């Protein structure tokens, strides 16, 4: 199965390092990040889970709940978490799914046979409160993810969900944004009282409206 942007994220029940969960119940009305790992006790995954744990407060202030997936069993997860906490100087407090039968991996298309028949690639999904897929990113097993980029994209997704704006290349929270083309230039002052700059008729920028 290949999930695309705007698709409904499949619900599932799973055993995790923190007990049994129902995915939708776990998310509640929050945003979610679901991301997979090829296997426990692998070096790149260890750094990724550590970085996610260190960014706990950043995810929390954005109303984002994190959930990791690995095809190994819970007992391995628990031992691995001890290693992660020790080596990455963190405390992993989010659940790691024990996806031994590949149920979640198959629901979310996390196994790419041309890369590996058995292990998940580094798939990451951002899921909105409406349970729709807002972002998908897939890395090869050899490349660790940039979690500051994940946070940057979440900032953009949450902003653009509430205002008629888009975010330009390399945008960071607090910087100017683009007024979407569907808004007529003459209507911008009423919609964006902070002012705007017309670079081209199709390229109009305005200060971030929620700052």
Q: Within 10 A of 10 (CB to CB), how many other CB atoms are there? A: 16
Q: Does residue 94 come out as left (phi exceeding 0), alpha (psi in the -120 to 50 range) or beta?
A: beta
The catalytic position among 3, 33, 45, 104 is: 45
Q: Examine the residue annotation and report whether 45 is marked as an active-site residue of this protein.
A: yes
d(CA 18, CA 195): 49
Judged by DSSP in three states, 210 sits in coil
Task: Read off the DSSP letter of residue 61.
Answer: H
Helix extents (H) in 64-207: 74-88, 103-107, 147-162, 188-191
Measuring CA to CA, which residue among 95, 150, 96, 157 is closest to residue 130? 157
Catalytic residues: 45
């Amino acid at each position: 199965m290949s999930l695309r942007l705007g698709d409904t994220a499949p619900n599932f029940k799973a055993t995790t390092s923190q007990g049994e969960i129902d995915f939708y119940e776990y998310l509640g009305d929050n945003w979610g990040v679901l991301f997979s790992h090829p296997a426990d006790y692998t070096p790149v995954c260890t750094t990724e889970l550590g970085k996610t744990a260190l960014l706990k407060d950043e995810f929390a202030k954005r109303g984002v709940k994190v959930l990791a997936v690995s095809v190994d069993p819970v007992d391995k997860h628990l031992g691995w978490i001890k290693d992660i906490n020790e080596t990455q100087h963190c405390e992993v407090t989010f659940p790691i799914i024990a996806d031994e039968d590949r149920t979640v991996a198959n629901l979310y298309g996390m196994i790419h046979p041309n890369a590996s028949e058995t292990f998940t690639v580094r798939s990451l999904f951002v899921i909105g409160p409406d349970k729709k897929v807002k972002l998908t990113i897939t890395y090869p097993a050899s490349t660790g993810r940039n979690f500051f980029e994940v946070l940057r994209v979440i900032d953009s997704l949450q902003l653009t969900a509430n205002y008629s704006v888009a975010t330009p290349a390399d945008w960071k929270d607090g910087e100017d944004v683009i007024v979407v083309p569907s808004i007529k230039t003459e209507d911008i002052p009423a919609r964006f009282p902070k002012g705007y700059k017309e670079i081209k008729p199709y390229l109009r920028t305005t200060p971030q409206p929620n700052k």
